[in-house]
Amino acid sequence: MTAFTGTRHLVRLILRRDRVVLPIWILLLAALPASYAATYAELYPTAAERASYLAGTASNPSIVALLGPVYGDSVGALTVQRAGLLALIVALISVLTVVRHTRTEEEAGRRELLGATVLGRYAGLTAALLVTYAADVLLGLLTAAGLVAAGLPGVGAALFGAGVTLTGVGFATVGGLAAQLTESAGGARGIGLGVLGLAFVLRLAGDAGGSGGAGGRAEWLSWLSPLGWAARGRAFAGERWWVLLLPVLFSAVIALVAYPVSVRRDVGAGVFPPRLGPAGAGAGLAGPFGLAWRLHRGQLLGWTVGFGLLGLVLGGAADAAGDAVQGNRQIAEILARLGGSSALAEAYLGGTLSLTALAAAGYGIQAALRARTEEKAGRAEPILATAVSRSRWLAAHLAFALLGPAVVLAVTGLAAGLAYGLSVGDVGGELPRLFGAALAQVPATWVLAALAALLVGWLPRFSAGAWVVLAGCLLLGQLGAVLKLNHWALDLSPFTHTPEVLARTWTPTPLVALTTLAAAQLTLALKTLQARNLPTA
């Protein structure tokens, strides 16, 4: 028996458990860069048009901070910048996947049961890392293949795909280390996402101060960020393959720390002991809503701060986004389809608010599924053994699933309105308009949050299917207009029905319909929870 005995069996177990989720996010993310390349090739067929677009984009620090630097005016270089957030998304999924199959398993007690069999000390961590690494490699290969199929050079496509892969590998290893440091899965996710957030802030600050990657004074900050290394490989613009050594070394160093730590602690324990709370609970924990506030407040605060910063960046970039596409009728029509009115800046803001609403819906789903997490962990039964009814218990979590997206979108709208208003000299006019446009996205997020609640009450084993629905909405929103899908397909997404509030004329009827649909789902969720056994495995 070796330290890696049983790894192959654990890999098969993880693949079986993630046989639906893994293919979905791999295929969805791999399709995005190819779609961007096809769009740029259609909208900017000449070098002069691409140079004009590049001048408008690279000159604005807000756009560069959000998407990353651009190192040329070729279709490939523009595609790399447009897909700049792909590395962030892959890193996020990699961290969460590793934590889910390591620390979450220990917290649930399943790791201890498996450890009682013939299982090596490194098997659990290795299996989680191998599956995530393999998913990242497959994503990189499919991404490169898609770019080649879109007509881009193979060398640049290979470098870009490798950069995406190694970014995911690096943060998967960060997730593996974070899982060793704390006793709770929530704490491990917090550490991993904290490292990811720090890397994003460094990359954002470095790119914003680097004048589009032209060697500005603050560009050194981007070199400190693992999220900035892939872009600095300069795919399709004089490839620098040696940059890929940085994420390789980063992953190796983190792994050399994670593996020794994993065997020097007890199963279920972390390096950092949990902080003991007070001997007696405060008055705020006397009911289910107080407990729900205690469970959700950290995430709500983090999402609110993050969305506020995002709103400032988006609002600051809106005026320049309009200037960057002036004179190109095709891209103006594409932006107008995404949301907003015919004005290019407003179309940009409408489209970005739609994407922000998808992220806010993710928070709503996460908050609704927290009830299922509490049920599976056995923490719901002691509460329901008291005078607390099932309806009150679930409603406490649903309050954050509904109010959370509203709060973060409201903050986004206020921040974007302030930044855009300052850039055009009309804060009093633009702030309330963008605030209203952000709030108009809320009913669509409620539909998905309510769907998650309905699955928790009715089909708890399939409650994770709410994430699949969110991925489908993202796919329809990003590729639906480009692929010219039929209206019936686009109408499957609740975000398609959100009115264009930034337009001069709009009707609130879709908002009422979406809110009614969400209310009906919530009613069914409460009723079905009363009718089923609890807990359900």
pLDDT at residue 119 tops 50: yes
Does 316 or 2 have the greater pLDDT score?
A: 2
Distance CA 250, CA 248 (A): 5
Residue carrying the six token digits 């993050």? 306
Residue carrying the six token digits 């649930």? 108
pLDDT value for 98:
95
With a CB cutoff of 8 Å and minimum separation 6, the contacts of 86 are 29, 32, 33, 143, 164
Contact between 524 and 457 (Cβ < 8 Å): yes
pLDDT value for 340:
39
CB atoms within 10 A of CB 334: 17
State the pLDDT confidence band at 213, using cuts at 50, 70 and 90.
Answer: very low
State the pLDDT confidence band at 66, using cuts at 50, 70 and 90.
Answer: confident
pLDDT at residue 338 tops 50: no
CB atoms within 10 A of CB 204: 23
Contact between 365 and 417 (Cβ < 8 Å): no
Contact between 69 and 213 (Cβ < 8 Å): yes
Distance CA 30, CA 20 (A): 16
CB atoms within 10 A of CB 15: 14
Tokens representing 295? 């469970």
Distance CA 2, CA 9 (A): 14
Distance CA 161, CA 155 (A): 10
Return the amino acid letter for 161.
G
3-class SS of residue 326: coil
With a CB cutoff of 8 Å and minimum separation 6, the contacts of 454 are 521, 522, 524, 525, 528
Contact between 361 and 449 (Cβ < 8 Å): yes
Q: List own/partner pairs for 353-356 with CB under 8 A and 24 or more apart.
A: 353/314, 353/412, 353/413, 353/416, 353/434, 353/437, 353/438, 353/441, 354/441, 354/477, 354/495, 354/498, 355/477, 356/307, 356/310, 356/311, 356/314, 356/409, 356/412, 356/438, 356/441
SS (HEC) of 440-479: CCHHHHHHHHHHHHHHHHHCHHHCCHHHHHHHHHHHHHHH
Tokens representing 227? 């999220």
Distance CA 348, CA 331 (A): 11
pLDDT at residue 20 tops 90: no
CB atoms within 10 A of CB 308: 17
3-class SS of residue 169: helix
Tokens representing 454? 């309905």
pLDDT at residue 339 tops 50: no
In this prediction, residues 325-346 reach a mean pLDDT of 52
pLDDT at residue 321 tops 60: no
Looking at mean pLDDT, say which of 281-290, 300-309, 511-520 comes out highest. Answer: 511-520
Looking at mean pLDDT, say which of 93-102, 282-291, 490-499 comes out highest. Answer: 93-102
pLDDT at residue 427 tops 80: yes
Return the amino acid letter for 320.
A
State the pLDDT confidence band at 424, using cuts at 50, 70 and 90.
Answer: confident
Distance CA 340, CA 329 (A): 16
